[in-house]
Structure formats: C-alpha cells, structure tokens
A and B are shown apart, each in its own frame.
Chain A
Amino acid sequence: MEAVKNRDITSRLPGANRKNGLLRELNRNKHLYLLMTPAIAYFIVFAYLPLGGLVMAFQNFNYVKGIFGSEFVGFDNFGFLFSSGDVWRVTFNTIFLNVLFIVTGTITSIMLALMFSELTNKWFAKISQGIAILPHFLSWTVVAMMATALFTTDTGFINVILKGLGFESISFYSEATYWPIILVFLKIWQAAGFSSIVYTAVIAGMDPGMYEAAKIDGASRLQQIRYITLPLLKPTIVLLTLFAVGKIFYGDFGMIYALIGDNALLLPTTDVIDTYVYRALRMLGDMGMSTAVGLYQSVVGFTLVLLTNYVAKKIDEDSAIF
C-alpha cells in the first residue's frame, strides 16, 4: 500500500507541471484556442452529448421521464431484439447491398477512370467527365422522383419500353426481388462518375517515362493498361475497398429511405439497419429498443473500421487513416 501511494505522489509531480504547462500553453496561443471554441462547442453538443444518450439502450425509456428518470432494464432490449429475427434480416440486407455496391461501384469507376485517361480529345474529356459527375450532386429525393418516372407500372419509362417490345408490364413497386438490382443501377448512376475522380487523379500522377519505355518495347495501349496502369492502381483500389468494407455496417439511409420509404412490400430485400432504426423510432416509438439497434450498429461498425484500418496499415504504413 505504502509503495503504491508513494508512486502515486511521484507520478503526480510531472502531472502538476503539465497542468501549469496547459495554462501557459492556453495563454500563449489564446487567440488560436479561441478560434477553435465554436467548433469544439459544436462537437461537444451535437456529437459527444448524444453518446451519453446511448444509456437509453439499457433503459425502458419513457419520453416524458427522460434519460434521468427512466428505469434501467439491463440487457433486456438487446435480448428482445436478437430474439425477434428482424435484426438479422436487416443486418444481412445491409451487408449484402453494400457488397453489391462496393463490387459494382469499384469496377465501374475504375473502368470510367481508364476511359477518361485514354481520351485524347481534351474537350470531349471535360464534357463527358462533367456529365458523369453531375448525378452525384442531386439529392436522393430527386432520384426517388426520377425512379417513379422510370419504374411506375404501366406508364413508367421502362414499362413503356417493355410493352413496346411486346413484354408484360412489371409492377416494380410491389416486387421486392427487383430492388437490389435497381438500387445497384441507381447507385452506379449516382456515384460511379464521382468516385472515378480519385482513380483518374492517381492515373494522371503516374510516371510518363514508364509508358514511353513500354511504347518503345512495342507494348500496345491495352497491354500498357494491363501491365502498367492496373498494377499501379492496385494499392489505391485495395485501400478504397478496405475503407468501404469498414463502412459496410452502415446502410445508405438517404438513398434507401427516399426510394423505398415505408413501402412494406419492398422491405424484405431493402430494409437496412439505418432504415429499421428510423421506422422503429417513428412507428413503434420504442426509443430504448431503437437505441439498442443503433448501439449494436455503432459498436460493430466501429470495430470494423478499426480492423480495416489495421489491415490497411499492415499493407502500407502511409495509407492508414490513423
């Protein structure tokens, strides 16, 4: 005991110094710390205070009584949640859709980047890149409106074409099976052009000397892509994919909710964790339960981010985010 106490005292000494150091540091750069204050206040209120709200996951939460008055129930919310089966379904959908998005999105954006970099006409390059990026700047509510014009039964653009070709009209808005593929197409439409920018930038930064040498050795353009560009792109592809995998536990709420909304017929294939939490909050009004789902997502999601970052660090020391 005595030894421990002694060590405490000695370890406190540099601590005391540090405290003085803190004040001196704050004083020396007082203007700069003042500049940070509004932002720090913002993060404390809107990012760190809600963390405290996570205790709701362990409460039988009552809106009127609030966080401080509601009764604690331990892990009851989680027990109920995981026995209901819903949570497994939405977890599967979240991961399944994200895997589809990552695979198709990566392939299309790399192909686009290769095509943009092979263009010889600067004017066409500028225009086509501009058009490919444009959809990224439209909100998902606009895309949802657009989707009704495309997929409405009978009058939708796709169905008009199908009927023109002599096929039956498809009622997309009551058939859940079509939606994973529709979502993939809309995701490519919205994001592929924008994500190709990073790849295009990496290709533009590659050493022209290498291509000159390959040309002298008689390599065709396709061979140059196959043996120079793609191998050099590989680290970027691996890293961007890793980071996407790190976020695999988070569904694209804006996209799914704008497009699907509360259409119960489509939920079997499209309901993701984020939309599930939102509906649980709004329809059931059970905040304790909804928080439990959110906490489950945050914890698993956070673990995945740490894991993928660790892997990224293993592959390339410089490319880890932290």
Chain B
Amino acid sequence: MSVFASRTDKAIDITNVVLLTFFCAFCLAPLCIVISSSFTDEMALLKNGYALWPTEFSIQAYQVMFETSRIYDAYKVTIFVTVVGTVLSMIVTSAIAYAISVKTVKYRNKIAFFVFFTMLFSGGLVPTYLLIAKYLDMKDTVWVLILPVLISPWNMFLLRNFFATIPDSLAESAKMDGASEMTILFRIILPVSLPAMATVGLFYALGYWNEWFNAMLYISDEKLFPLQYLIMDILRNIDFMNELAGKFGGSTGYTPPTFTARMATTVLTIGPIIFVYPFIQKYFVKGMMVGSVKG
C-alpha cells in the first residue's frame, strides 16, 4: 500500500479517536459536575456556580443527608423492590418464555400474540390508575412498585428467542429418560441459558432500580419512596430543604447545604450503578444484539 494511503489512514484513526474522546467527555461531563458539586461547600457553590471540580471541598452535604432518615428508607425500599422484583420477574418470565418456546405446545403462537398485543395497544394511564388505586386498592404498598411492572413483554420475547435456539434434541433425550417438563426446565434449559438469563435479569434489576413512575402515582407515604422518587421529591419540594435548613440553621451566618445536598442524593442514587457497571456492561451489549435479531 502506498505511503499516501497509510498517512490518510493514520489521519482518520487520529480524528476518530479525538472525536470519540470528545463524545465520551460529553457523556461524562454532566456526571462529573454532579459529583463535584456534591463535594463543594454550599457558599462556594452559590458564589461560583456548578463546576467540573469542587472550588471549595466539603463533605457537609453528605453529613446532612446521612443525618436524615429519608435516604436510608429510600435505599431500603429500592433494594427490596430491586431484589424481590427481579427474582419474581425472572421466575414468571422464564416460565412462560420456556413454555411458548416448546414446539409441541399447540397454542404457543396464540399465547405469544396475546402477550405481543399488550405492546401494541394499552388502556393507557387512567384506566390502569383506576384499576390499581380503586379496584385493587394497592396504593401505598410496596407491591405497587413491583406487580404492575412484573413482566416486560420485550424481555419475555428476548428469553423465548434464546430458548428457541436450544436444540430440541437436548430436551427430547431427557424426556426419553423420563424427565418431566419441570425437570427439563430447571436441570437442562436454565443452566445452558445462564448468559441470556443474566442479561434479562440485569435489564429487570435496572428497571426496578430506576423505577419512579408508579411511586409518583401510587405512593404518598414518604417512608415508601424509592430512591429515584426521593430525588424527584427533593427537586420539586422545597419543604424538605427548608426542614433541613431549620434543623441545621441554629447558628447565624450558617448556610444549610440545600443545593449540594440535592447533588449528594443524586450521587448516592447512581453510585451503585456506576460501581457495578464495568462488570455488567458486556451483558447489556450482548442483550441488545440478541434482541436485535428477530425470532
């Protein structure tokens, strides 16, 4: 290859890396601002504004957040919902996904359509609200954060498509040996599907961790607010900040860390995701690829 070609190649490589570095900076900068302002002194923040690094380092915002019980309550709710919700979702989703992946089940396509239709047409917000609030009476219970979002049809089809790729001979030979359907599912299908199960499980876990819509609709008891809705509440609700101000505003000339405390709460909310992200990233990429292949 000519010298000229390799030189333009090099130019392309460098431009490419530079542009992507810019894009990554664009992705990280807002997070960086949030984290840095959570560690900034309130007065300095009000004077200098939000910045990429703390102008005056302080951990007061975190001290204040840990003094109130709200962040602990919210963590408890979010962890419960994420763990219990993910386990329940996985059990119910993999059960139906396996059942409709078995080719001897005559009505499997009808049932797949029954599930698929819910992705196309829904009753919308108001009828669902009425059902849950009035007829099921689930307001202000922790289950309202789990049950209405128990199964995602998208995840269900992702799993079904994966199960369908498992060779029938595997299940058939087990059947010859007298294994029941349950044994086949738990002893053969699930163990060979671990990567797909991990992907779907992570999608569910993330969905539960980030859930706030149902909390906004159905939860008014502050003790049951999940983390994401706590942020929303702090963002909208000045009362909480005033309460903080009253609690810590004893001495004169003291500025309660209201704005920095908001940022500290945000950091505490995204912290766990950022921590585990490097380890689970590959599953999401894989999941997207499996999902993009139509089954």
Using CB atoms and an 8 Å cutoff, list the residues of chain A in contact with chain B. 25, 28-29, 31-33, 35-36, 38-40, 42-43, 45-54, 56, 63, 66-67, 112, 115-116, 118-121, 124, 127-135, 137-139, 141-142, 144-146, 148-150, 152, 154-157, 159-160, 189, 193-194, 197-198, 201-202, 220-222, 253-254, 258, 261, 274, 277-278, 281, 287, 290-291, 294-295, 297-298, 302, 305, 318-319, 321-322
Q: Smallest Cβ distance from B94 to chain A, in angstroms?
A: 9
Chain B residue nearest to A28 (CB atoms) is B104
The reply to whether A67 and B130 contact each other, CB–CB distance below 8 Å, is yes
29 A–B pairs (Cβ distance < 8 Å), ordered by A:
A25-B107, A29-B104, A31-B181, A32-B99, A38-B95, A39-B92, A43-B118, A50-B124, A50-B131, A53-B126, A54-B124, A112-B23, A118-B13, A130-B281, A132-B23, A134-B277, A139-B211, A146-B266, A157-B49, A159-B49, A194-B288, A197-B288, A261-B236, A278-B125, A281-B126, A291-B127, A294-B124, A294-B126, A319-B294
Q: Give the residue name and chain of the A residue nearest to B112 (CB).
A: A322
Measured between beta carbons, the chain B residues less than 8 angstroms from A202 are: 292
Residue of B at shortest CB range from A164?
B49
Partner pick for A56 among B118, B127, B285, CB 8 A cutoff: B127
Residue B229 is within 8 A (CB to CB) of chain A in the complex: yes
Number of A-B contacts (CB under 8 A): 267
A residues near B288, Cβ cutoff 8 Å: 194, 197-198, 201
Instruction: Report the minimum CB–CB distance from B55 to chain A (whole Å).
Output: 11
Given contacts A39-B156, A145-B262, contact A138 B210 (CB under 8 A): yes
Inter-chain contacts of A201 with B (CB < 8 A): 288-289, 292
CB-defined contacts of A131 to chain B, threshold 8 Å: 24, 27-28
- Within residues 1 to 60 of chain B, which ones have a CB less than 8 A from any CB in chain A? 5, 8-9, 12-13, 16-17, 19-21, 23-24, 26-28, 30-31, 33-34, 37, 45-46, 48-52
User: Please, how many angstroms separate the alpha-carbon atoms of A165 and B105 in the complex?
Assistant: 68
Find out whether the CB atom of B125 lies under 8 angstroms from the CB atom of A189. Answer: no
Q: Please give, as numbers and ranges, the residues of chain B lying within 8 Å of A277 by CB-CB distance.
A: 124-126
Interface residues on B, range: 35 or more
Asked whether B111 lies within 8 Å of A40 as measured between CB atoms, the reply is yes
CB distance from B7 to the nearest CB of A (A): 11
Q: Are A43 and B114 in contact (CB under 8 A)?
A: yes
Q: Which residues of the partner chain B approach A67 to less than 8 Å between Cβ atoms?
A: 130
Given contacts A119-B20, A197-B289, contact A50 B9 (CB under 8 A): no
Q: Residue among A38, A150, A277 with the most chain B CB within 10 A?
A: A38
| Chain A binding surface SS class | helix
Q: Closest CB-CB distance, A268 to chain B, in whole Å?
A: 20
State in angstroms the CA–CA spacing of A220 and B30 once bound together: 37
